[in-house]
Structure 1
Amino acid sequence: MGRSRVALKFNLGRGVLLAPLIFLTIFYFYPLVSILSVSLFPAGRIDLSGFSEIATSAYYHRIVWFTIRQAIISTVLTILLALPCAYLFARYRFPGRSILLALTTLPFVLPPVVVAIAFTSLIGRGGLLNRLLMSQLGLSSPPLQFEQTFAIIIIVHVFYNFSIALRMMTGFWMNQSRRIEEAARVMGAHGWRLWWTIYLPILRPVIAASGILVFIFTFTSFGVILILGGVRFATIEVEIYRQTTSIFNLPLAAALSLLQIAIMTAMMLAYTRLQRNLPLELQATRHTLQNLSTRRAYTLIILLVSFIAMMIFTPLLALVVRSFMSSTSGTFSLRFYKMLTVNTRSSILFVPPVDAIINSVKFAFITTLLASVLGMMAAYLLARRGVFFARWIDPLFMLPLATSAVTLGFGFIIALDEPPLNLRTSPMLIPIAHTLVALPFVVRSLLPALRRIPPNIPEAARMLGASPVSVWWLVELPLMLRSLVVGAVFAFTISMGEFGASLFIARPETPTLPVAIFRLFSRPGAESAGQALALSVILMGVSFVSFLVIERLRTPGTGEF
């Protein structure tokens, strides 16, 4: 009996290990190896010309430096703005807190093309704000000139990544005991001194972890630069796309991809090392939220709501308003929504925009299933005590998060186009790519829940005769169900909004919602732009409902996102 149990545990552990790693090997590492092969052996022999061109060309030096510079500036501004907001969310209970937190997360899952349309609708040359200023001040030309500037890139990056830093710091802060703070107040520490001597040292690990994550996302920025930056600005990511689709220089694109992967792998190793130490910090007694009982507290919450409304809600509200505004009369109209089934260009290759909604929902459900199952297996492996190699495997499951969607799409194109993995024309390639992007979020949602399960509870069930399946179904699953649902909703929402990889691999007849929005937005004419606005509002609504579900189900202060 003892030997059979040991064998069962071994087989179960081996199965948990193999399934997600096999998936990563086939659909992540194999495409990356193919990129390496194209880069180093384009003609069957070693060729370092791509790396040599990157090392010697001033043009690529400028691209690399711009990529690093904009990522650093975006990260610093994001952390500085998110830190005081996290303090208020972690300290006070106020009406609408969960809804407000869900709304701040909404930009993170919106595709770049939607955000571009939102900011264009607000501060573009024909945006609502310029229209208002021109009518009120009697101006003949738009006073705000943000389009295709460095400033708009930084603004949108902060808009995108604010929620990640906010959620990570809020969750960490809510799990800190207030005894140290109370003792410091008794000894006379107040105001900035309290922040400098107490708050910042305590928060240093999560500030560093969230900063690294924001840096990764902004370093690999693609859609924001491509759509809002114009021809003046290019990151490594955008240059990979240009070299692949416009110049067809695959060796150079592969060399740029490898450079980016090397930098991002180093950043992700630093992130996982920091994140592994955070659960130790989170063992302090969890404090309860305070009610708004003082004028100062009310004032701070009013300032918080005003700031979030200005930074998050205003661009999204402008997008909604423009979608219901007639392009000719400027009055309320449902015309753009009614046109979602209309072929405005009379093209024989027309795919109704409403079909893109159906495609995205189908792909999102498949992604949710794949990411939930594989993410649960990976989280079990990482949470098991005594698994000495877990610390080395942890970064592997986070690598897709550090690899740009464009690199993934590029790898799929060159690796999965011949037997035995000829998936280039298969619709399944889209949910597979989306699963790679969503997998880290599912793992990080489940991991804290699994680590909180006391080992004596499932052990007691086994001693009472419960089989491993019964222990999982009756004991472990109920304890982690909320976190599993949170991870599944994350996967669904990320799939609905994924843009970079889908732009590479989506077939013309099966576009996803973000790809359809991009195609419509790229066409001339008010009708196409109006359809793009309507689809953007639909996608934004789905994302908001999804994150509202996450906020209702997740245990406050837990999880990494």
Structure 2
Amino acid sequence: MLKWAGRIAIAVYSILVFIPLILAMNRMIQIAGANPFIWFDSLGLYQLSEGAIAFTFVQAIISTIATLLIATPIAWQLGRYSWRGKPLMRAILTMPFVMPAIVAAMGILAFVGPNGFGYRSNESTHFWTLIIAHAWFNMALVIRFTEPVLSTLNRNLEDQLKLLPSGKSALGRFRILWLPLLTPSLAAAACMTFVFSFTSFALVRWLTPLENSLETVMASIGSSAGIEGYSEYSNDLVLASSMIQFSVLLMSLWLMSWLQDKRQSKLPRADEESAQTKNTKGLFILLPGLLFALTPMIIVALASIRIVSRDGVEWSFVAWGKAWNGDYSNTGVWEAMLNSLGYASITLMVALPLGILLALYIKELENTGSKYARIVDLLTLLPFAISSVMIGLGVILGIIIIDPVELKEWWILPALPHIMLTTPFVVRIILAALRGLDPAYDENARVLGLSTIERMKKIHFPLMKGPIFIAGIFTLAMSMGEFGASWVVTRFGQWDTLPVLIDQLRSRPGWDPLIQPTAAAAATVLMGITLVLFLIAERFRTTDQEGMF
């Protein structure tokens, strides 16, 4: 029965993910032609896309390096030493990753903008502001990948190494023990950081307004792609940008998958308490790290009640009323929040059971030694190699082909890209948990004659309550904060989500002193919902769960 359920899940998943993209690509190729050389040449012909390739690669590479430099010392202190309130520290340091990117952008703009420290008046600061924002957003990846390795390695190994001539110095121990041990985890974290920086949309859109990445190029011209006789050059640009993105991201994900296999350490492990010691000097690293993680979120909340006008600074909640009533936008915060919660609920109802079925099927194939296990596993990873903006464009162009009138008015339409983007995360979370179960449970159940369904009911699900709950919470949080695909899809309807509402507010001319506080108020609502979901999920997460999934 699981075999058939798994096959049905693969069919449903393939239809959801690939049909809209295939229809979109086919539509654009019909208009632009099937010559890839013309597509790629177009990137250098138009001002919009000029320099987009170089900017995308440069900022992603530098963001990755900056993230490693900032997060690795923090992960080392958090993993190697014991701290009072360590679970809270870990939660604060990894919280930025679940924050919607639009919230991070609003917090950083409030901090460095004209009503903050004023750094934005100098265009040369734009690029480095983006790099710091990416480091803030992605440092949780480095911590999640490396901290469990550091916190559970048996300290006897290091003590024994100190007795050897080459291990007497800290540098020698680092070179012989820690560098080989941490390299796969750091490299895997670097791959994921590169992927998220490469496809960054909200942060690039708001923090470097004078530059375009491949992602912002596709978003800017996506509304005209696929329409015959109207701005046909946009099809070349979208096709070229998407092909470059897909190739680069696919290679990055393959490398990360290979590195994750290398991360399976054969060295003896110990429980976290016995593997750690105290180091008060480490506070000089942890405290700045905690401040770095909290500052943008605190600034967002403060910016919602700080009104700067010609008469000076006033502290008031008047902007909250403007945001709630929708005085400066198509919809108010309440309506946008209901839209976001509605799409998140639909996404949860589809992505969670679909992801669980796919993960169970992959694990069953692995248990039987099937060669198709790796193929199905890679199939579930493919949406990671497609940017959220391209997924949104795929949905829109697919609708234009199928039925541009009826489906355009379908309320649940924006949930489709959310399902496409969140299902792979559910698969990774559940599959990692299934692989971590003791095989003896399954073997004993087989000896007792339990069927696959009985094993799932009596063994898998009782042991998997925590990961399933985490996957569900993570799905809700991702759907609530999704911006790239929503920005493309909801512009064609009246179903604004909270991230789209925030973008609308911030895009208005800034002559009114209430505009920025109103956008910050909407961002604070979204941030509060995300924080609650994250803190609930943290109660079910164990310290030995390595990696972001």
TM normalised by structure 2 equals 0.89
Partner of 1:548: 535
Partner of 2:514: 527
- Mapped partners of 2:353, 2:87: distance in 1: 28
In the TM superposition, residue 99 of structure 1 has moved relative to its aligned partner by 2.1
Render the CA deviation track for 1:96-137: whole Å, top value 9, x for unaligned: 32222222233223333322221121111221x45xxxxxxx
Please point out which of 39, 51, 66 is paired with 1:51. Answer: 39
- Mapped partners of 1:325, 1:334: distance in 2: 8
Q: Does 1:379 align with 2:359?
A: yes
In the TM superposition, residue 50 of structure 1 has moved relative to its aligned partner by 3.8
1:266 to 1:314, Cα distance in 2 relative to 1, 3 A: same
* Matched residue type, 2:298: L
- Mapped partners of 1:532, 1:433: distance in 2: 25
In the TM superposition, residue 332 of structure 1 has moved relative to its aligned partner by 3.5
* Matched residue type, 1:398: L
Partner of 2:131: 154
In the TM superposition, residue 520 of structure 1 has moved relative to its aligned partner by 1.0
Q: Is the 8 A contact 1:401 1:440 kept in 2?
A: yes
In the TM superposition, what are the counterparts of 1:222-261 in structure 2 within 5 Å?
222-231=201-210, 233-245=211-223, 249-261=234-246
Q: Does 1:403 align with 2:380?
A: no
Partner of 1:389: 372
* Matched residue type, 1:446: I
In the TM superposition, residue 552 of structure 1 has moved relative to its aligned partner by 1.8
In the TM superposition, what are the counterparts of 1:161-200 in structure 2 within 5 Å?
161-187=138-164, 188-200=167-179
- The secondary structure found in structure 1 opposite 2:51 is helix
- Mapped partners of 1:157, 1:80: distance in 2: 12
- Mapped partners of 2:287, 2:92: distance in 1: 11
Render the CA deviation track for 1:275-301: whole Å, top value 9, x for unaligned: 2343x327742332369965xx11203
- Mapped partners of 2:400, 2:425: distance in 1: 28
- Mapped partners of 1:204, 1:456: distance in 2: 31
Render the CA deviation track for 1:445-475: whole Å, top value 9, x for unaligned: 2222211223332343354454543322221
Partner of 1:307: 289
TM normalised by structure 1 equals 0.87
- Mapped partners of 1:50, 1:410: distance in 2: 21
* Matched residue type, 1:401: F
In the TM superposition, what are the counterparts of 1:66-85 in structure 2 within 5 Å?
66-85=55-74
- Mapped partners of 2:498, 2:388: distance in 1: 16
My pick for the range that moved more, 459-468 or 544-553, is 459-468
In the TM superposition, residue 89 of structure 1 has moved relative to its aligned partner by 1.7
Partner of 2:5: 15
My pick for the range that moved more, 393-402 or 31-40, is 31-40
- Mapped partners of 2:45, 2:306: distance in 1: 48
Q: Is the 8 A contact 1:169 1:203 kept in 2?
A: yes
Partner of 1:8: none
Render the CA deviation track for 1:488-529: whole Å, top value 9, x for unaligned: 111111111110000011254221110011111111333332
Partner of 2:396: 413
* Matched residue type, 1:316: M
My pick for the range that moved more, 56-65 or 315-324, is 56-65
- Mapped partners of 1:532, 1:378: distance in 2: 39
Determine what percentage of the aligned residue pairs are the same residue.
Answer: 27
* Matched residue type, 1:360: S
Partner of 2:479: 495
- Mapped partners of 1:259, 1:431: distance in 2: 26
Please point out which of 315, 330, 334 is paired with 1:354. Answer: 334
My pick for the range that moved more, 407-416 or 57-66, is 57-66
Q: Is the 8 A contact 2:74 2:285 kept in 1?
A: no
Partner of 1:269: 254
Please point out which of 370, 374, 384 is paired with 2:350. Answer: 370
- The secondary structure found in structure 2 opposite 1:406 is helix
Please point out which of 303, 322, 337 is paired with 1:339. Answer: 322
Q: Does 1:91 align with 2:93?
A: no
Partner of 2:445: 461
- Mapped partners of 1:365, 1:511: distance in 2: 16
* Matched residue type, 2:522: L
Q: Is the 8 A contact 2:130 2:208 kept in 1?
A: yes
1:371 to 1:182, Cα distance in 2 relative to 1, 3 A: farther
Q: Is the 8 A contact 1:114 1:536 kept in 2?
A: yes
- The secondary structure found in structure 2 opposite 1:416 is helix
- Mapped partners of 2:44, 2:345: distance in 1: 46
My pick for the range that moved more, 513-522 or 463-472, is 463-472
- Mapped partners of 2:529, 2:193: distance in 1: 24
Partner of 1:474: 458
* Matched residue type, 1:307: G
Q: Does 1:33 align with 2:16?
A: no
1:56 to 1:339, Cα distance in 2 relative to 1, 3 A: closer
- Mapped partners of 1:352, 1:282: distance in 2: 55
1:331 to 1:262, Cα distance in 2 relative to 1, 3 A: same
- Mapped partners of 1:189, 1:39: distance in 2: 63
My pick for the range that moved more, 336-345 or 370-379, is 336-345
Partner of 1:321: 302
Partner of 2:227: none
- Mapped partners of 2:168, 2:355: distance in 1: 44
- Mapped partners of 1:88, 1:370: distance in 2: 40
- Mapped partners of 1:293, 1:460: distance in 2: 39
- Mapped partners of 2:169, 2:349: distance in 1: 50
In the TM superposition, residue 61 of structure 1 has moved relative to its aligned partner by 6.8
Q: Which runs of 5+ in 2 are unaligned?
A: 225-230
Q: Is the 8 A contact 2:480 2:498 kept in 1?
A: yes
- Mapped partners of 2:194, 2:339: distance in 1: 32
Q: Is the 8 A contact 1:272 1:395 kept in 2?
A: no
- The secondary structure found in structure 2 opposite 1:42 is helix
* Matched residue type, 2:318: R
In the TM superposition, residue 177 of structure 1 has moved relative to its aligned partner by 3.4
Render the CA deviation track for 1:197-232: whole Å, top value 9, x for unaligned: 21111111111111111111111111111111112x
In the TM superposition, residue 373 of structure 1 has moved relative to its aligned partner by 1.0
In the TM superposition, residue 55 of structure 1 has moved relative to its aligned partner by 7.3
Partner of 2:111: 122
**Cα RMSD for the two superposed structures:** 2.7
Q: Is the 8 A contact 2:23 2:401 kept in 1?
A: no
Q: Is the 8 A contact 2:43 2:240 kept in 1?
A: no
Please point out which of 263, 266, 271 is paired with 1:287. Answer: 271
Partner of 2:501: 516
- Mapped partners of 2:20, 2:466: distance in 1: 34
- The secondary structure found in structure 2 opposite 1:194 is helix
Partner of 2:545: 558
In the TM superposition, residue 54 of structure 1 has moved relative to its aligned partner by 4.1
Q: Which runs of 5+ in 1 are unaligned?
A: 1-10, 131-141
1:207 to 1:58, Cα distance in 2 relative to 1, 3 A: farther
